[in-house]
Structure 1
Amino acid sequence: FELTQPLAGKEAYLQGHIPGAFYADLNQNLSAQPGQAKASGGRHPLPERTFFAHWLGQMGMTAQTQVVAYDRNQNMFAGRLWWMCKWLGHEAVAVLDGGFAAWLAAGYPVQTAIPEPKQPSQFSPTQSLVTLLDAQDVLQELGGGKQTIVDARAAARFSGQNEPIDPVAGHIPGARNRPFTDNLQADGRFKPAQVLRQEFEALLEAQTSNMPTRIVHQCGSGVSALPNLLAMELAGLGRQALYAGSWSD
């Protein structure tokens, strides 16, 4: 999937993917459809948990399934799927470090055929393993000293110099900018955990022992914020909150 070319991801998937992999579309599967109930605001609102769980069940997912998410887009969409599975209470989900490029570089096989559907299951959400916030949650703590907001958008969008998508430019007052691509090495893999830890501690002006009471990750619409949230977890800094509606909300 590409934000500016919604059909590009499916086309790339059909040209070659990891054997047995199913395609998850940001608009069709990882976001609420127009007219559907939604669990967040913004340009890519989360669907209701039961709706997303039903789709996973149609893919054959059960409580025992190990999910591996990958993409070609620096973990943006894989991160969204990873987080959404945690949101349903499913712990057994991972992101393929380096994405499809790393798979190809290792010389592993690919296929173009769409895999046969698995036997549908009744996959039901359980207690969420993540923290989801809405605009009111963030607003209540704004400027109170107990919350730090991390904005994953590119620096030009954060500063308001360039806003190609949303009608208003700028950022939430007090937010700190950490473009999600800063988490990656040149080969597309995550930086070492210790490097990520040092960079986030510098960004937050805090050590691990005195982190802000609440760290909130956001971006434009709840997609590119997820690599930052995942990177903090890889760095041993805990699983932080997501404002899914983000700037577009």
Structure 2
Amino acid sequence: MKPIITASACASESAGPRPPVLLDVRWRLGGPHGRADYEAGHLPGAVFVDLDQDLASPAGDGGRHPLPDPEVFGAAMRRAGVGQDTPVVVYDGGQGWAAARAWWLLRWAGHRDVRVLDGGLAAWTGDLSTDVPHPAEGDFRPKPGALPTLDADSAAAFARSGLLLDARAAERYRGDVEPIDRVGGHIPGAVSAPTDENTGPDGRYLPAEQLAARFAGLGAEAGAEGVGVYCGSGVSGAHQVLALEIAGLTGILYPGSWSEWSADPSRPVATGPEPQ
């Protein structure tokens, strides 16, 4: 199953006999969550999910968006109507990061039928609703570990002996600026691969063959054990993992990402445009 769905296909499935659960995951980096945007208009039947509250644990030693407690995450998904076997479509405002985080978490927690609305709300041409639905409680029970993850040590190992992609903007990778975390730069050996190069001007993912060519140019090899991915706090990195899946590759997320790595002064930091 493809990890993305077009707006037209989503509309068709929503009107069909087995409609997907729709999750609105609008979120703004460094700003308030998207509840106000949701209340102003959302896909009919969509339930709002708060990235900071439902899709992450409180910031701490594990970074700014550590993996959520499975019980907390599971309860949020059940309140939204997610069942073990119900199809799920997640969307955000169009950047795709928050929706990809929800997609990755559901996959990591064992859900097998979840897709991202390609292009997000901006791609939707149908009517919007201000009605807040109250779906019947779902029966989804997370089983964490269905997707592999990296910790700081295994991310460092990937950078040395495999391929570790840094999904942040190039200027943060180089260490020119660091607006959020303790120090700028990157994990030594990591390759710069900004997430915004996965999509076109309309915010939709590039075709699979273009993504495959992009990642091949960065050093990804078909059939390899996987490509490590990190970002600032495990949000935009999920977008990179999804892009890798579209390209036919396996991405392995480091959830703690730079916010965890850089918080430890004992860990090395590289700066400049080159991996080392």
Give the TM-score, by structure 2 length.
0.80
1:66-85 matched pairs, under 5 angstroms: 66-85=87-106
> Cα 1:234–1:214, aligned 2, differ >3 Å: closer, same or farther?
closer
Q: What runs of 5+ residues in structure 2 fail to find an aligned partner?
A: 1-26, 261-276
The one-letter amino acid paired with 2:244 is M
Aligned-partner Cα distance in 2 for 1:198–1:164: 31
- Please state if 1:195 is matched with 2:210: yes
CA deviation after TM superposition for structure 1 residue 33, in Å: 3.3
Aligned-partner Cα distance in 1 for 2:256–2:184: 16
CA contact (8 A) 1:76 1:223 kept: yes
- Please state if 1:56 is matched with 2:77: yes
The one-letter amino acid paired with 1:218 is Y
Who is 2:58 aligned against?
33
What SS does the corresponding residue of 1:132 show, helix, strand or coil?
coil
Who is 2:236 aligned against?
224
Deviation digits for residues 30-81 of structure 1 (CA, Å, limit 9, x no counterpart): 111369xxxx811111112232112211222111211101111421000000
- Please state if 1:126 is matched with 2:137: no
Aligned-partner Cα distance in 2 for 1:80–1:34: 16
Number of aligned residue pairs: 234
Who is 1:88 aligned against?
109
Aligned-partner Cα distance in 2 for 1:160–1:228: 20
Cα RMSD, aligned residues only: 1.8
Who is 2:132 aligned against?
114
Aligned-partner Cα distance in 2 for 1:157–1:73: 22
Deviation digits for residues 143-196 of structure 1 (CA, Å, limit 9, x no counterpart): 2x2x21101100110100011010111000010111111011111111111000
Selected match of 2:247 from 227, 231, 235: 235
Aligned-partner Cα distance in 2 for 1:79–1:141: 22
Aligned-partner Cα distance in 2 for 1:88–1:176: 28
Selected match of 1:172 from 183, 187, 192: 187
CA contact (8 A) 2:70 2:144 kept: no
Who is 1:2 aligned against?
28
Aligned-partner Cα distance in 2 for 1:31–1:182: 25
What SS does the corresponding residue of 1:165 show, helix, strand or coil?
coil
Selected match of 1:14 from 22, 29, 39: 39
Aligned-partner Cα distance in 2 for 1:141–1:71: 31
Identity %: 42
What SS does the corresponding residue of 2:99 show, helix, strand or coil?
helix
Who is 2:222 aligned against?
208
CA deviation after TM superposition for structure 1 residue 28, in Å: 1.0
The one-letter amino acid paired with 1:49 is P
What SS does the corresponding residue of 1:28 show, helix, strand or coil?
helix
What SS does the corresponding residue of 1:247 show, helix, strand or coil?
helix
> Cα 1:34–1:77, aligned 2, differ >3 Å: closer, same or farther?
closer
What SS does the corresponding residue of 1:77 show, helix, strand or coil?
helix
